[in-house]
Amino acid sequence: MAVFKFVISEGNKSYQIEKDQNDCIGLIGKKIGDKFSADILGLNGYELEIKGGSDKDGFPMRSDIEGIVRKRFLIKEGVGFKGMKRIKKKRKYIEGMRKRKMLHGNTISNTIVQINCKVIKEGAQKLDDILGKKEAAAKEEKKEEVKKE
């Protein structure tokens, strides 16, 4: 089964939640910039805004490309492009540089794996109380598995 990985940012901290796509079927069809209730993620009272994401092959979503398409676009700035080139082992910014890059559209589909979100409205509990404990427990489990091997 496919899984959505939500990266939720609140100020300078970010948290990661994995959720099955079948549980988040209401998100399919939403675009970058849309807001949704975080109740489906277990964050009661929170409201999140979609800021971006990437598909199953790692290509980034871009807000100015409509639909669920994935194809090569000629771009000169923005998401997925830096405008840098290596010249004599040094990276230099090239003015007016354009590149053809593979990008994904701004609409969430079943090919999207990672969804980046920003907290718009906070709930009763703090995110650190809800998600911070889960992440700490997961890190401890990984350390224990490494020690056993």
Predicted confidence band of residue 85 (pLDDT cuts 50, 70, 90): confident
Residue 24 exposed, middle or buried by CB count within 10 Å (0-12, 13-18, 19+):
middle
Where do we find the tokens 């994935």?
70
- Report the C-alpha gap between 57 and 42 in whole angstroms: 27
User: In the chain, how many H helices and how many E strands?
Assistant: 2, 9
What's residue 32's pLDDT? 95
Asked whether residue 7 carries a pLDDT value surpassing 80, the answer given is yes
**More confident call, 102 vs 79:** 102
- Report the C-alpha gap between 112 and 56 in whole angstroms: 6
- What's the Cα-to-Cα distance from 31 to each of 2, 57, 91, rounded to whole Å? 19, 19, 34
What's residue 149's pLDDT? 66
Q: Which helix (H) or strand (E) holds 41?
A: none
What's residue 42's pLDDT? 86
Asked whether residue 52 carries a pLDDT value surpassing 80, the answer given is yes
What's residue 135's pLDDT? 61
- Report the C-alpha gap between 55 and 4 in whole angstroms: 10
**More confident call, 140 vs 37:** 37
Radius of gyration over every alpha carbon of the chain, rounded to an integer in angstroms: 18
Q: What is the mean pLDDT of the chain?
A: 87
Are 99 and 74 in contact by the 8 Å Cβ rule? The answer is yes
> Mean per-residue pLDDT for 52-75?
92
Phi-psi group of 96: left, alpha or beta (phi > 0 → left; psi -120 to 50 → alpha; rest → beta): left
